[in-house]
Amino acid sequence: MKLKTGVAFPDFISTEKIRGGEHHYKKRYQMRGFFIPAILFLAIIGILLRLFYIQILQGSYFRKLSDLNRMKTITIHAPRGVILDRNGKPLVYNTPGFRETINGKTQIIDRNQALFFIAQGKKDLEVDSLRYYPHKEIFSHVLGYIGQISEDDLKEARFADYKGGDLIGKMGLEQEYERILKGIDGKQLVEVDSLGKTVRKLGQTDPTAGSNITVALDLNLQKAVFEATKDVKKGAVIVSTPNGEILAMLSKPSFDPNLFTQGQNYRASSGSYTNIEEVLSDNKNQPLLNRAISGVYPPGSTFKLVVAASALKNKIIDENFEIEDTGSIRVGIFSFSNWYFTQYGKKDGAVNIVKGIKRSNDIFFYKLAEKIGVDKISQTANEFGLGQKLSIDLQGEAKGLVPTTDWKEKITGEPWFLGDTYNYGIGQGYLLTTPLQVNYWTQIIANGGNGYKPHLRKIQSAKSADQISNLFTEESVSLIRQGMIESCSPGGVAWPLFKLKIPAKGWSASGGKNVIDGKNFIEENSSGSAKMVEVTIACKTGTAQHGGENTMPHAWITLFAPAYDPQIVVTVLSEESGEGSNVAAPIAKKILEEYFKNR
């Protein structure tokens, strides 16, 4: 077909007939019409599948989430058990308080601070029982304190059922008997609204309080020990019975454990430390160190008791063995003198085992140690509990050090010299002991050669597994005891304990625990109205050199009383303070006076 187009186009344009044009446009329109409904259909199917998944397959899970948003579990913290002294007097209390957790860290809040927070609208405070120590620094090391469980603690098997934020014993008896003192927390299930307010209580499991424990400690005696050591800056005291019960244990410097348990606003009203920062930052005096079981020191002349026991046990000497006091001994360029000669220029003459202990004669024990030999002394020292833990029911006990010839050569690369033996014989040199170990070997002598494991928790009777027996003969014990008695008598060295007298109120000539028998307790012939009784004491002082020439020596005394039928064993250490007879003995005297008063 040809069309006439006009001047703008060629005269003729050839065209073809368009095939199926209308049908083609209809088909494209129909495809567009199905596309949108298909998308809507698929979307609806997706929504239905999602609803099926949420409602049917995951219904229980989302219902639980909903319930958790609607219901809240509140922990009801169980109060810890109370620690009681041997007479049933509480040494620690539980007081009302609160806690809160901030960034995973538990903070203790006292009542006044909690009321302030509540008034400001704070909602996440938890009711709890705060630990209060009424006797403050008097019992700090032996009782310890509580604090938040650490991540390392949670990894231990014994804390498998604990959770982050729990408060546990961090020191002392609180730590040792954590499993007994710790109670079982209860739970309260409550329904809350969208603002977190409690709508109603849905159920509750009551907490179970921790169990109480009774310890061998004597509150009145511990107070007397603390008062007697008021001038001691650093040191330790242990008072025990012959069967190993610890009646009193003190370490100085001390601290108020309430600083760790009564909230950040608490300030100590007495002692050297008013806040936690002062306690933790004093690296010089180390107030958290329990010197009674963890401090190691040269025992000085108190060790002469062990040297004497070794000589008698190994039958190296008997009661007739004597050494002439020469005042001093020279070994090469070194001089080893007796204290009596050094201070007064005098000598003790012929000295046997009893007089050697009585006068604490260094010349006698220099030569005796040489005669026994280092390794035999060390063997006896090990039998007396040195160089090892005594397994008292407190953590942190130190072993100390008992040297031998092989030990020195291995550690220092040098052989053992005669001068080392002389120093060892008087408790100096490489030897290191804890106050607990000194108290223990004194207990063995008091028991006639038998020893009992020291313990703080009150038990009915000592177990056979906790006892060592027959370390030496009664004859040997008698000689050592006699030397110790004379050491505390006129002519001895422990002058503050000469003829210790106490009021005889309530005492009798027969019956009862304290009997005026003329041996252990001797009635004083006095015209006054108040009758007095002299207590027979067996003791040994010690003055332990350490550090440089300008450093004051450690002052020691260890004793038991009455001498023939012991009831009490006392060991006193005062660091860097002077001679044992001048410093430690007066402290021991005050402790004995308190113990025997009204008994």
- Mean pLDDT in residue range 169-192: 89
pLDDT given at position 23:
57
| Beta partners for residue 587, in sequence order | none
| Beta partners for residue 168, in sequence order | 147
Indicate if 406 and 494 belong to the same structural domain. yes
In angstroms, rounded to a whole number, what is the distance separating the alpha carbons of residues 391 and 452?
A: 11
Indicate if 162 and 311 belong to the same structural domain. no
**Beta strand ranges found along 462-537 (DSSP E):** 467-468, 501-503, 521-523, 532-535
pLDDT given at position 269:
79
Q: pTM of the full predicted structure?
A: 0.84
Indicate if 169 and 312 belong to the same structural domain. no
In angstroms, rounded to a whole number, what is the distance separating the alpha carbons of residues 393 and 293?
A: 11
Cβ atoms of residues 543 and 555 within 8 Å: yes
In angstroms, rounded to a whole number, what is the distance separating the alpha carbons of residues 481 and 491?
A: 16
In angstroms, rounded to a whole number, what is the distance separating the alpha carbons of residues 592 and 594?
A: 5
pLDDT in tens, 560-587: 999 999 999 999 999 999 999 999 999 9
pLDDT in tens, 519-572: 999 987 766 667 789 999 999 999 999 987 789 999 999 999 999 999 999 999
Residue found by looking up tokens 């538990």 in the block: 106
Indicate if 338 and 194 belong to the same structural domain. no
CATH code of the domain containing 559: 3.40.710.10
pLDDT score of 9 more than 60: no
Cβ atoms of residues 83 and 193 within 8 Å: no
Q: Which of 214, 249, 278 is the last residue of a domain?
A: 214
Question: Would you say residue 233 lies in a domain?
Answer: no
Domain extent for 487? 257-262+291-500+537-596
Number of domains comprising the chain = 2
Question: Would you say residue 115 lies in a domain?
Answer: yes
Percent of the chain with pLDDT over 70: 86
Q: Highest-confidence range of 19-23, 205-209, 457-461, 547-551, by mean pLDDT? A: 205-209
Question: Would you say residue 247 lies in a domain?
Answer: no
Residue 2 confidence class, pLDDT cut points 50, 70, 90? very low
Question: Would you say residue 510 lies in a domain?
Answer: no
CA angle 527, 528, 534 (to 5 degrees): 85
Compute CA distances 11 → 1, 15, 16, 17, 60, whole Å.
13, 13, 17, 20, 84
pLDDT in tens, 390-436: 999 999 999 999 999 999 999 999 999 999 999 999 999 999 999 99
Question: Would you say residue 431 lies in a domain?
Answer: yes
pLDDT given at position 193:
65
pLDDT score of 5 more than 60: no
Angle between helices 304-313 and 374-383 (to 10 degrees): 100
Compute CA distances 254 → 216, 434, 584, whole Å.
21, 18, 18
pLDDT given at position 588:
98
pLDDT in tens, 282-318: 999 999 999 999 999 999 999 999 999 999 999 999 9
Question: Would you say residue 448 lies in a domain?
Answer: yes
pLDDT score of 24 more than 70: no
pLDDT given at position 402:
98
In angstroms, rounded to a whole number, what is the distance separating the alpha carbons of residues 385 and 438?
A: 9
Polymer length of the chain: 599
Residue 195 confidence class, pLDDT cut points 50, 70, 90? low
- Mean pLDDT in residue range 366-377: 97
In angstroms, rounded to a whole number, what is the distance separating the alpha carbons of residues 484 and 349?
A: 19
Indicate if 440 and 575 belong to the same structural domain. yes
pLDDT score of 256 more than 80: yes
In angstroms, rounded to a whole number, what is the distance separating the alpha carbons of residues 132 and 260?
A: 10
The alpha helices in 336-494, defined as continuous H runs, are 339-344, 353-359, 362-372, 374-383, 405-412, 418-425, 435-446, 474-487
pLDDT given at position 57:
67
Question: Would you say residue 505 lies in a domain?
Answer: no
Indicate if 477 and 374 belong to the same structural domain. yes
Indicate if 300 and 210 belong to the same structural domain. no
pLDDT given at position 205:
87
In angstroms, rounded to a whole number, what is the distance separating the alpha carbons of residues 389 and 348?
A: 38
- Mean pLDDT in residue range 243-251: 97
Compute CA distances 59 → 44, 46, 67, 192, 430, whole Å.
20, 18, 12, 22, 74
Which of these, 327, 331, 329, 311, lies nearest to 319 by C-alpha position?
311
pLDDT score of 274 more than 80: yes
pLDDT given at position 549:
79
Residue 189 confidence class, pLDDT cut points 50, 70, 90? confident
pLDDT score of 490 more than 50: yes
Question: Would you say residue 137 lies in a domain?
Answer: yes
- Output the average pLDDT for the chain: 87
CATH code of the domain containing 188: 3.90.1310.10
Indicate if 204 and 296 belong to the same structural domain. no
DSSP track, 15-83: --PPPSHHHHHHHHHHHHHHHHHHHHHHHHHHHHHHHHIIIIISHHHHHHHHHHHHEEEEEEPPPPPPE
pLDDT given at position 356:
98
pLDDT given at position 529:
63
